[in-house]
Amino acid sequence: MYAIPLAAARPAELRPLEPWQAAEFLAHIDRARPNTDPWIPWASRSTDLDSARVTLQGYADRQAADAGRIYGIWLDGTLVGGVMFVHFDTVSGNCEIGCWTESAGEGHGLVTAAVRHLVEYALVERGLQRVEWFTSTRNTRSRAVAQRLGMRLDGVLRSYFPHNGVRHDKEVWSLLADEWRTSEQRAGLGL
């Protein structure tokens, strides 16, 4: 297995998150639930070992089909968050990246650093044209990641999705391959 070191004051790394890690994933999601629900739909469905395994298996199946994947962020050896290709479409040249974290993973720059690696992989290594980032207008931390990475706000889908009886507006952010190749954020990878 591989691990990508993430720039942080403490040891942190980005690694694949796989079905055999369901118990560790579930313990993390239980800690992260206040931060992830309502932003990450599978968080409210991953409530026991079997459902956590189903979530991770779904991403393993997507990875096998080259249509998505999920990675964990470990800080000091503890799973504290992650990033994912929600969808990955080599035919259209588009992908969507998402993220989540628990409180212990906040404020270290880990999510931004991890997303940088996914953007580089998608736009440079795999040659996709567009990275998309969707977030509720109420999720200020997610919006901040998009802004730090130089994404542009394409628009707002009003009253786009319900959660616990409340309709949320959804922001659509994007970053194009030519924008990424010349960005200061890419320089943050040390390339």
Q: What is the pLDDT of residues 118-170, one digit of tens each?
A: 999 999 999 999 999 999 998 999 999 999 999 999 999 999 988 778 898 99
**Cβ-contact 37, 164 below 8 angstroms:** no
Q: Has residue 4 got a pLDDT over 80?
A: yes
Chain-centroid distance, C-alpha 128: 17
> Region 1-15: what's the mean pLDDT?
85
Q: Sorting pLDDT into bands at 50, 70 and 90, what band is 1? A: low
Q: Which of 101, 88, 19 is nearest to 53 (CA)?
A: 19
Which residue from 56, 43, 180 is spatially nearest to 115, judged by alpha carbons? 180
Which helix H or strand E contains 21, and what residues bound it? none
Mind listing the pLDDT tens digit for each residue in 43-74?
A: 888 999 999 999 999 999 999 999 999 999 99
Dmax over Cα atoms in the chain, in whole Å? 46
Place domain 4-187 in its CATH homologous superfamily.
Gcn5-related N-acetyltransferase (GNAT) (3.40.630.30)
How far is it, in rounded angstroms, from Cα 95 to Cα 138? 23
| Contact (CB, 8 A) for 52 and 25 | yes
